[in-house]
Amino acid sequence: MDENESMDDRKQIFLQAMAGSAVSPPPIWLMRQAGRYLPEYRKIRAQHSDFIRFCLNSDAAAEVTLQPIRRYGFDASIVFADILLIPYGLGQKVWFKEGEGPKLKPLGVDDIQSLSIERAKQVLGPVSETIVKVRADLPGTCSLIGFAGSPWTVATYMIEGGGSRDRFKTRALAWRMPEVFDTLMDVLVNASVWYLKAQADAGADVLKLFDSWADGLPDPIFDRVIIRPTGMIIDRLRELGVTQPIIGFPRGAGSQAVRYARQTGITALALDHGTDTGWARRALPEDLTIQGQLDPAVLHAGGAVLDTEVDRLLSAWRGRPYVFNLGHGIHPDTPPEHVTQLIERVRSFEQRAETSKQEQTSWRVV
Ligand code: CP3
């Protein structure tokens, strides 16, 4: 084996898993690994009152992207930004209220035509600068992920004016005015293609599409607002020569995830913690890379239940291309030492499997 190849083997296990290898123990990173559970994040965040401006300050964003890498040595980093930067860039009013989550001035049907991709290109430039800065300081063992929200999830925030329990207004618009709704989807597809390509060009190794509100959609709507725009983004990126692996996260899609995986062109599928693991193993293609499934609440709990749950997932996905991660973002109240425990548990998996094999053998010999 040539020297570079063996170095790469050790260095980029996340990329190997993305390429379809069953790496064991698997690579690990966590959704929202940069965030309020870290004291070093809270410290720098306290110096920036406006969250959007914080995300668009490439020095601050690069620093907080690197914080969890320095503290824990994750196998992948994710650029510090937010899915709501696209609506902001397109010209919608977006702000964050402490303790209340994101707020947007709800988009009316007549506002769609005033959304401007040219404006978004100007506004979102700093995200590519963040990627360049992170890249320069990242250890060779760590990959860098760029991301965007998927058109459906971003549209729900734009239309509802924030998070919402059942996205009723957005669903009603999709059924009632399909042409108008699809025009909005097309704007978001175009903006996302530009944004993801810019991140790939700046040095992202992998791209991810967050569809956090993919649950509760009837099949015809799921196909129209989730599969179609996701597939369009991926096709367009490939046409533009973007070769990076692309992770899709259709949270809450349940069995619709099978169609999503087969029809969108994603490289890897991120699964939430509510998906039946045994079913997913059987229903999803064996060569498809799977990511996720640990309940953020069990990471918050820590202790023996965390170890047991980590082992369940490692055993269940053993032999398949798998990336260890949560089923959704880390909860802000999570004690940082639980993340240390989690990483140690994941990385000692093969050792433990070996020890238990030896114990069984010696017991049999006796
Ligand atoms: O470390 C990382 O994962 C990278 C950064 C990242 C953030 N948001 C930073 C952030 C990523 C990947 C996101 C994605 C995102 N943003 C999603 C998709 C993933 C998911 O969680 O479903 C969504 C739906 C959003 C929209 C959004 N941004 C919400 C709902 C909130 C409020 C959450 C809260 O707990 O208050 C945000 C704000 C936000 N984005 C924070 C962070 C670290 C917290 C804000 C703060 O520090 O004050």
The reply to whether ligand 1 has any atom less than 6 angstroms from the CB of 160 is no
Residue 169 resides in a domain: yes
Residue 360, pLDDT above cutoff 80: no
Q: How many domains does the chain have?
A: 1
Kind of pairing, strands 206-211 and 246-250?
parallel
Structure tokens at 66: 């690197």
Name the catalytic one among 37, 72, 88, 157: 157
The reply to whether ligand 1 has any atom less than 6 angstroms from the CB of 58 is no
Per DSSP, 162 falls in state B
Question: Residue 313 C-alpha to ligand 1 middle, in angstroms?
Answer: 25
Question: Residue 32 C-alpha to ligand 1 middle, in angstroms?
Answer: 7
**Catalytic residue status for 364:** no
Residue 6, pLDDT above cutoff 50: no
Question: Vertex 214, ends 180 and 84: CA angle to 5°?
Answer: 70
Structure tokens at 49: 């009152």
59-92 confidence digits (pLDDT tens): 999 999 999 999 999 999 999 999 999 999 999 9
Distance of alpha carbon 69 from alpha carbon 76, whole angstroms: 8
Q: Residue 85's closest CA among 34, 32, 149?
A: 149
Contact 170, 108 (CB under 8 A): no
DSSP one-letter string for 77-105? EE-S--TTHHHHHHT--EEEETTTEEEE-
106-161 confidence digits (pLDDT tens): 999 999 999 999 999 999 999 999 999 999 999 999 999 999 999 999 999 999 99
Q: How far apart are the two ends of the chain, measured CA to CA in Å? A: 41
Residue 85 resides in a domain: yes
Residue 145, beta-bridge partner list: 78, 206
Residue 328 resides in a domain: yes
Contact 294, 239 (CB under 8 A): no
pLDDT, residue 2, reads 41
Residue 6 resides in a domain: no
The reply to whether ligand 1 has any atom less than 6 angstroms from the CB of 80 is yes
Give nearest CA residue, ligand 1 atom 2: 32
b/e for 185-220, b at 16 or more Cβ within 10 A? bebbbbbbbbbbbbbbebbbbbbbbbbbbbbebeee
For residue 32, the ligand 1 atom closest to its alpha carbon is 3
Name the catalytic one among 75, 82, 205, 295: 82
The reply to whether ligand 1 has any atom less than 6 angstroms from the CB of 227 is no
Distance of alpha carbon 220 from alpha carbon 175, whole angstroms: 10
**Catalytic residue status for 71:** no
Question: Residue 36 C-alpha to ligand 1 middle, in angstroms?
Answer: 10
Residue 89 resides in a domain: yes
Residue 351, pLDDT above cutoff 90: no
Distance of alpha carbon 262 from alpha carbon 84, whole angstroms: 28
Question: Residue 84 C-alpha to ligand 1 middle, in angstroms?
Answer: 9
Backbone angles phi, psi at 101, to 5 degrees: 75, -170
Residue 105, pLDDT above cutoff 80: yes
Give nearest CA residue, ligand 1 atom 27: 102
Per DSSP, 294 falls in state B
Distance of alpha carbon 185 from alpha carbon 159, whole angstroms: 12
The reply to whether ligand 1 has any atom less than 6 angstroms from the CB of 78 is yes
The reply to whether ligand 1 has any atom less than 6 angstroms from the CB of 213 is no
Residue 51 resides in a domain: yes
171-192 confidence digits (pLDDT tens): 999 999 999 999 999 999 999 9
Q: What percent of the chain has pLDDT over 90?
A: 91
AA letter at 79: V
- Looking at every residue in the chain, the average pLDDT score rounds to 95
pLDDT band at 98 (very low <50, low <70, confident <90, very high): confident
Query: Ligand 1, residues 45, 57, 74, 83: which to mutate, most atoms within 8 A of Cβ?
Result: 83
The reply to whether ligand 1 has any atom less than 6 angstroms from the CB of 147 is yes
For residue 65, the ligand 1 atom closest to its alpha carbon is 1
299-346 confidence digits (pLDDT tens): 999 999 999 999 999 999 999 999 999 999 999 999 999 999 999 999
Choice between 262 and 360, residue whose per-residue pLDDT is larger: 262
Contact 173, 111 (CB under 8 A): no
Neighbours of 365 (CB within 10 A): 6
Question: Residue 351 C-alpha to ligand 1 middle, in angstroms?
Answer: 35
AA letter at 12: Q
**Catalytic residue status for 287:** no
Residue 9 resides in a domain: no
**Catalytic residue status for 8:** no
Residue 3 resides in a domain: no
Distance of alpha carbon 142 from alpha carbon 158, whole angstroms: 34
pLDDT, residue 227, reads 98
Question: Residue 283 C-alpha to ligand 1 middle, in angstroms?
Answer: 30
Which residues form the domain of 96?
Answer: 16-358
The reply to whether ligand 1 has any atom less than 6 angstroms from the CB of 156 is no
- CATH number, domain of 202, equals 3.20.20.210
